[in-house]
Copies of this chain bind each other. A is one copy, B any other.
Amino acid sequence: MGDNRQGPVYRSSTTAPVNIAVIKYWGKRDATLNLPTNSSLSVTLSQASLRTHTTASCSAHYAAHEGDSLLLNGSAEPIQHSPRTQACLGQLRSLRSSLEASDPSLPKLSGLPLHIVSTNNFPTAAGLASSAAGFAALVRSIADLYALPQSATELSRIARQGSGSACRSLMGGYVAWRAGSAADGSDSLADEVAPPAHWPQMRALVLVVSAAKKHLPSTAGMQVTVKTSSLFPTRADVVVPRRMQNMEQAIRARDFDAFARLTMQDSNGFHAVCLDSWPPIAYLNDVSRAAVRVVEAINQQSTDAGAGLLAAYTFDAGPNAVVYYLERDTERVAGVFRALLGNERVEGWEGSYGQDIKPAEMEELATLDEKAVETLRAGVSRVICTGVGGGPEKVDSHLVDERGEPVWE
């Protein structure tokens, strides 16, 4: 922390990961508190590939009348008008305030304006849900700045109110968000089902689709589904609770065949209730379906040979495909996509995960549907090669300098 005339600048920085659900969050039972209609489960992705880097700072030197501020990827965000951000900041301040009350020697940070600076190492245009990593980094960095003693699970209650899926980005590995039943959301919390080291071989290939049009944002889409889909209550009340149990068991047993089947079934079931909504919601496009066909062909080769599933597709509220597979099957899964999409066609094959992906031999490709291959080549703009990773990490690299000014990376 630095000194100047009006006092020191307190800083704390963190990086936080993206997560991609294998049991989807779709539907709120309380839109203000972001309480979900069903539990969900995700894989935290490595921060080597995708991460948000956030510095939280506070200082008496900051102009009190300007209040809190957030600079996101170089642009000032209007957080005064964001009830979600305000909820997070208010609850974190309140926890700090309690600390300060119990220990008068602590500096009175809760009363100081917060300046937060945040950057993503991936383009927002990639269509990846950056809000999960963003709110996880925001909550984690402020909790560190305030030296809060709360656990990641306790902080997940706060991050959830910023963005539902953010609560799952506070932990690494395989993370469950328990829907809970309390009206105040006190039991709607994330917990780590298994750390990354339990099943470190999990890999993910993200196929970023050059989307022609904007999709219905997920917050709006899920409320349409809750209100209008006649199949939705069965998904939320019956199907997902059973699938959560089976998925946790598959993860505990490192059973990729079961993990893959449940992942694909849940993605299909989620998009089924979207189609069943009124008006119907369609997030998948032709490129998404081409990715499904390639995954089905890869799995067919394996199951024809008496082995289990090798790959699992999953789709969030957009056309991007995420394909999970195990490291040992890198060439048979990611290698097929690399052979199809090549270095010249799309970028993203570099990095610690991508560089190991060797293009599959032509015989692996012989069974692929020609039309699907053509559609995929025309529609995938880049790939992201990654794998299961850890939770937020405290870092020394600050995006706010000692005088309280943003550092332009």
Using a CB–CB cutoff of 8 Å, the interface residues on chain A facing chain B are 212, 230-231, 233-235, 238-239, 242, 261, 264-265, 268-269, 271-273, 275-276, 278-280, 282, 286, 289, 292, 296, 371
The contact of A212 among B212, B275, B279, B371, by CB within 8 Å, is B371
**Which residues on the B side are within 8 Å of A239 (C-beta)?**
230-231
Who on chain B is nearest to A375 by CB?
B286
- A296 vs B280: C-alpha distance when bound (angstroms): 10
A-B contact pairs, 8 of them (CB 8 A): A231-B231, A231-B272, A233-B234, A265-B276, A268-B280, A269-B276, A272-B273, A272-B276
B230, B242, B282, B289: which contacts A234 (Cβ < 8 A)?
B230
Kindly provide the distance from the CB of A332 to the nearest chain B CB, expressed in whole angstroms: 19
Q: Contact at B275–A282, with CB atoms within 8 Å?
A: no
> Which residues of chain B are near A233, meaning CB under 8 Å?
234
Partner of A231 from the list B234, B278, B280, B289 (CB cut-off 8 Å) is: B234
**Nearest Cβ distance between residue A260 and chain B, in whole angstroms?**
12
User: How many copies of this chain does one complex carry?
Assistant: 2
Query: How far is the CB of A320 from the nearest CB of chain B, in Å?
Result: 18
Question: A230 to chain B: which residues have CB within 8 Å?
Answer: 234-235, 238-239, 242, 265, 269
Q: Which 10 A-B pairs have the closest CB atoms?
A: A272-B272, A234-B234, A272-B276, A230-B239, A272-B275, A231-B231, A268-B280, A269-B276, A268-B275, A286-B286
Closest-by-CB residue of B relative to A289 is B282
A292 CA to B278 CA, complexed, in Å:
13
Which chain B residues lie closer than 8 Å to A292 at the CB level? 280
**Chain B: which residue is nearest A281 at the CB level?**
B268
CA distance in complex: A269, B265 (Å): 17
A276 touches B268 (CB 8 A): yes
Q: Shortest distance in angstroms between A302's beta carbon and chain B's nearest beta carbon?
A: 14
Give every chain B residue within 8 A of A238 (Cβ-Cβ): 230
Give the complex CA separation of A74 and B371 in angstroms: 35
Given A269-B276, A279-B296, A286-B286, output 12 extra A-B contacts at Cβ < 8 Å.
A230-B235, A230-B238, A230-B265, A231-B231, A231-B235, A231-B239, A231-B269, A231-B273, A234-B234, A265-B278, A268-B276, A280-B292
Quick one: closest B residue to A275, CB to CB?
B272
Q: Which residue of B lies closest to A231 (CB)?
A: B231
Question: Chain B: which residue is nearest A240 at the CB level?
Answer: B230
Chain B residues, CB < 8 A from A212: 371
Query: Whole-angstrom distance between the alpha carbons of A279 and B238 in the complex?
Result: 20
- A350→B50 CA distance, assembly (Å): 58
Look across to chain B and name the residue whose beta carbon is closest to the beta carbon of A261.
B278
* Min C-beta distance of A242 to chain B, whole Å: 8
With a cutoff of 8 Å between Cβ atoms, the chain B residues found around residue A272 in the complex are 231, 272-273, 275-276
Docked CA distance A271–B265 (Å): 15
Report chain B residues within 8 Å CB of A264.
Answer: 280
Residues of B contacting A265 in the complex (Cβ-Cβ under 8 angstroms): 230, 276, 278
Contact A275 B278 (CB under 8 A): no
Contact of A275 among B235, B275, B371 (CB under 8 A): B275
Q: Give the distance in Å from the alpha carbon of A279 to the alpha carbon of B273 in the complex.
A: 17
A175 smallest CB distance to B (angstroms): 23
In the assembly, what is the distance between CA of A271 and CA of B275, in Å?
8
CA–CA, A319 to B349, complex, Å? Answer: 37
Q: Tell me, rounded to whole Å, the shortest Cβ–Cβ distance linking A270 to chain B.
A: 9
Q: Say how far A373's CB is from chain B's closest CB, in angstroms.
A: 14
* CA of A231 to CA of B279, assembled, Å: 19
**A282 CB, nearest partner CB in chain B, Å:** 7
